[in-house]
Structure 1
Amino acid sequence: MNALAPLAANLLTEDRGKLLFGFLDRIGQELDPTVTQHGDVQGKYEAVGGWVADAADPVFKTARIYPQGSFAIGTAIRPLHGQEFDVDLVCHFPRARFPLAPAMLKRTLGARLRENAIYAARLQEMLRCWRICYADKFHLDFTPSIRNPGCPHGGELVPDRKLVSWKASNPLGFKALFEKRSLLQPRFRTRLAKAADGMLTKRAEVAPFPALRTSKPILPRTVQLLKRHRDIHFESRDVSAAPISVILTTLVARSYEHCVTHRVFDTEFDLLVAIVEGMPAFIEQRDEMGRRIWWIENETTSEENFAEKWNTDTTRATAFFEWHGKLRADLAQLARIAGLDILQKSLSASFGEAPVTKVMKTATETVGTARSNGSLHVAPLIGLTSAAVGASPVRANTFFGSD
């Protein structure tokens, strides 16, 4: 018998939430880039950044080169089916001044990259950036920017898609705000009570799985999980209509801040559900010249609308709300599932078979081994663990049944 199956059958509502989030967090860990992948990206970034920074052209002397997007804020996930990582970089020219033509600055950056035979061979010109391709691994998208004198938050201006004007942006401000929100601590109700004699109550002993000491805060982990759910959902649909990552990141971050500052939760899973439920509240509809438009604000600069494409392609808004409804339904289904086999199938359908299978296999082996050697314990506020420090032994066969 699967070592986790009897355990799952004895879950109280609170324990179920801890178990579910424990699995989800470990799935998120499997979505993280590997150490090798991260090191490869970092090495290539540092090399190309150094090459650009060493340019003889005076315009590069004060340039600032930095990563933006998912790698910068810790929400990158492994692409599906061997697709490439998308790594976004900025080359900021603080001394360049508006109304400098964006096409000219982009050409300047491209010319420097072409001076290196390695980058010249890998270079592709995109609409407003330069792409350096490392086949079947990842690509670096290098976007030029200048200072935005109209932004009170230190924002920047980047080329528009036609290279005829500048658009407001603020990658550094976005990163800082996201990290500030990540540090906000959710409040949870007391999970374990003590009996009069000071021993843990029986309710404490049924805690089913190590409550994860998450390797990253709940906010970036939630973004990762939702990005993978989106990728799975749109595999068999029009992928061009899928909500872009900056929209998911913004809505999750704003909903997370609202949830943790206004509510108290039983478990991390309950918090996750509340975050998802609250996301649409931060999508606006504004009047613009007699027309209703979708608006998802970049709070760190002025007049940047992450949902601008929703207003020229109505299928994007429809696709977002359809996906969001599916996500809500999938989370509700997870909360109702009793059987571990069904749980695994449901998680696989939502987040991919490979990471879920690996997580379930590891969890089963860990619990089975700990139980067989008598080292499975219940620790206050942690749950089942093979670490004996400050923990009470689990009585043999009380909650797990026989193998």
Structure 2
Amino acid sequence: MNAGVGMGFGYNVAIEKLAEELAVPQDRFDQAEKRYKDLGEFLHRDESKVRDYDPDVYIQGSFALGTPIKPTSKDEDYDLDIVVSFRSLTKARISQAELRALLRAELKAYRDARGIKNEVGESRRCCTLIYADGAQFHMDVLPAVPNEANMRVVLSSYLADQALAEGAIAITDSDKTSTYRVITDDWPRSNPRGFAAWFKSKQIEQLNERRRAFLDAQGKVTASVEDVPVFRVRTPLQSAIMILKRHRDEWFAEQDPDLKVISVILTTLSTHAYAGEARVSDAIAKILRDMHLEIKERNGVSWIANPTDPSENFADRWEEFTERRESFFKWLEAARTDFGAVQRFSDTNIVLNELSRNLGSTLVEGARSRVAASAGSRAASAAPAAAAGASAPGLVFGGEDRRPTEPKGFG
């Protein structure tokens, strides 16, 4: 069943404008790009203590995927996740603690050189730089060394595509006390570049269509679509994830913020469920209907596999903290209910009024202003409301029982 059949035109317009309003302005992406490239240049300067280790600096996380959302207030920061992979170092030459100390010393020098007032922070895996120049950025910098050979062995054992190993890294984790300060092959693994490549592959048709439009608008008719970064355009999948992130944030703010579904789970399950829908509203419908299907069970444990490392379970904390798992399914049911309740409405203002309680009034009022500024949306608001009485096949979830609180059958 096509999840979008029977959707009201006003609902489609409202969802598109919500995505536009949530999107991080391009100048923020430009700032983010400038930040990490500047750090890369600094680590390669003549006086650098790590220059000979060939540091490769690149962005990961939501900015790399093109799915960050605006903070709800000016008091919140954008999370900018950076990897510094030392390509000329190996696990056989250095401990995790020594690698962290090397990077931390250089970040302190960078802080002094750039006049950053805040001290260099540290967490279990990252060092942190907090800018105080009004940019609303804090940069989590992850030290790493290459780990492709090890990752190929892992992928081979799962009969998975070994091409996913390209760009795999080994990272530091100060909580791993038995291995953190000794030279060992036993380092935590990660593969943000592989994840970004997987994410891109799952939406390639819509992504390239928007890349071509971007190049046409820029007058670059001879450029390749591959030259356009993912964050320069916004696909239905990216927009759907952004809207669901905000719904998650608002819902858990009213419940227990400590149980909030982590973004990598939301993004991974959404990407698995997405099937190339060209409209954001259709993408949301398909994702909410099917996102639970990639929650498997391994030996009685809920498992959301890292698509680039099948041995890693993104839901690893669900076993110890069962309330996290329960909260995921409660949130999913709430999202299905909230979006399903308004999807057949033709009056955009009614849709926005109803979604205000679920997405926040500031976001909704911004979207309403965008609707008012669009001639097409004015026509949508004046459209007959008859579509609100459309037949049952228009429902996002049809008439079937999809109770997300029932775990059996999800695998």
Q: How high is the TM-score relative to the length of structure 2?
A: 0.72
Aligned position for 1:329: 337
Shift of 1:278: 0.7
Describe how 1:169-208 pairs up with structure 2 within 5 A.
169-184=190-205
- SS where residue 317 of structure 2 aligns? helix
The amino acid across from 2:366 in the alignment is K
In structure 2, C-alpha distance between the alignment counterparts of 1:41 and 1:112, rounded to whole Å: 19
Query: 1:167·1:304 contact (CA, 8 Å) conserved in 2?
Result: no
Deviations 1:100-158, CA, capped at 9 Å, x for gaps: 32111111100111123135744111221110002471200000111222112121111
CA spacing shift, 1:17–1:266, aligned 2, 3 Å: farther
In structure 2, C-alpha distance between the alignment counterparts of 1:276 and 1:30, rounded to whole Å: 21
CA spacing shift, 1:141–1:276, aligned 2, 3 Å: same
Calculate the aligned-residue CA RMSD, in Å.
Answer: 3.0
5+ long unaligned stretches in structure 2:
153-164, 181-185, 208-231, 386-411
Moved more, 266-275 or 63-72: 266-275
Query: 1:156·1:170 contact (CA, 8 Å) conserved in 2?
Result: yes
Aligned position for 2:54: 62
The amino acid across from 1:179 in the alignment is K
Aligned position for 1:24: 15
Of 80, 95, 102, the match for 2:96:
102
The amino acid across from 2:65 in the alignment is I
CA spacing shift, 1:60–1:352, aligned 2, 3 Å: farther
Of 29, 33, 37, the match for 2:28:
37
In structure 2, C-alpha distance between the alignment counterparts of 1:216 and 1:114, rounded to whole Å: 35
Please tell me whether residue 115 in structure 1 is matched to residue 109 in structure 2.
yes
5+ long unaligned stretches in structure 1:
1-12, 187-213, 377-383, 385-396
Shift of 1:90: 0.1
Shift of 1:98: 2.1
In structure 1, C-alpha distance between the alignment counterparts of 2:383 and 2:103, rounded to whole Å: 67
Please tell me whether residue 50 in structure 1 is matched to residue 63 in structure 2.
no
Query: 2:14·2:348 contact (CA, 8 Å) conserved in 1?
Result: no
Query: 1:146·1:158 contact (CA, 8 Å) conserved in 2?
Result: yes
Deviations 1:230-251, CA, capped at 9 Å, x for gaps: 1111112221211111111110
Of 228, 231, 234, the match for 1:216:
234
Please tell me whether residue 130 in structure 1 is matched to residue 130 in structure 2.
no
Shift of 1:268: 5.2
Aligned position for 1:192: none
Describe how 1:52-91 pairs up with structure 2 within 5 A.
52-54=43-45, 56-58=48-50, 60-82=52-74, 83-91=76-84
**Kindly, what percent of the aligned residue pairs are identical?**
28
Aligned position for 1:252: 270
Shift of 1:58: 5.0
The amino acid across from 1:144 in the alignment is P
Aligned position for 2:175: 162
Moved more, 333-342 or 123-132: 333-342
In structure 2, C-alpha distance between the alignment counterparts of 1:220 and 1:24, rounded to whole Å: 13
Of 248, 251, 266, the match for 1:233:
251
The amino acid across from 1:95 in the alignment is S
Query: 2:240·2:281 contact (CA, 8 Å) conserved in 1?
Result: no
CA spacing shift, 1:348–1:30, aligned 2, 3 Å: same
Deviations 1:15-34, CA, capped at 9 Å, x for gaps: 74443233212211111112
In structure 2, C-alpha distance between the alignment counterparts of 1:229 and 1:399, rounded to whole Å: 28
Query: 1:59·1:96 contact (CA, 8 Å) conserved in 2?
Result: no
Describe how 1:371-386 pairs up with structure 2 within 5 A.
none
Shift of 1:92: 0.5
In structure 2, C-alpha distance between the alignment counterparts of 1:311 and 1:244, rounded to whole Å: 15
Describe how 1:306-321 pairs up with structure 2 within 5 A.
306-321=314-329
CA spacing shift, 1:342–1:111, aligned 2, 3 Å: same
In structure 2, C-alpha distance between the alignment counterparts of 1:34 and 1:266, rounded to whole Å: 22
Query: 2:14·2:351 contact (CA, 8 Å) conserved in 1?
Result: no
Query: 2:24·2:70 contact (CA, 8 Å) conserved in 1?
Result: yes
Shift of 1:303: 2.0
- SS where residue 81 of structure 2 aligns? strand
Deviations 1:162-183, CA, capped at 9 Å, x for gaps: 1525212100010011111121
CA spacing shift, 1:339–1:92, aligned 2, 3 Å: same
CA spacing shift, 1:274–1:35, aligned 2, 3 Å: closer
Greater C-alpha Rg: 1
Moved more, 63-72 or 35-44: 35-44
Aligned residue-pair number: 328
The amino acid across from 2:87 in the alignment is P
CA spacing shift, 1:185–1:66, aligned 2, 3 Å: closer
CA spacing shift, 1:24–1:340, aligned 2, 3 Å: closer
CA spacing shift, 1:339–1:278, aligned 2, 3 Å: same
The amino acid across from 1:27 in the alignment is L
In structure 1, C-alpha distance between the alignment counterparts of 2:383 and 2:254, rounded to whole Å: 45
Q: How high is the TM-score relative to the length of structure 1?
A: 0.73
In structure 2, C-alpha distance between the alignment counterparts of 1:236 and 1:398, rounded to whole Å: 35
The amino acid across from 1:103 in the alignment is A
Shift of 1:277: 1.2
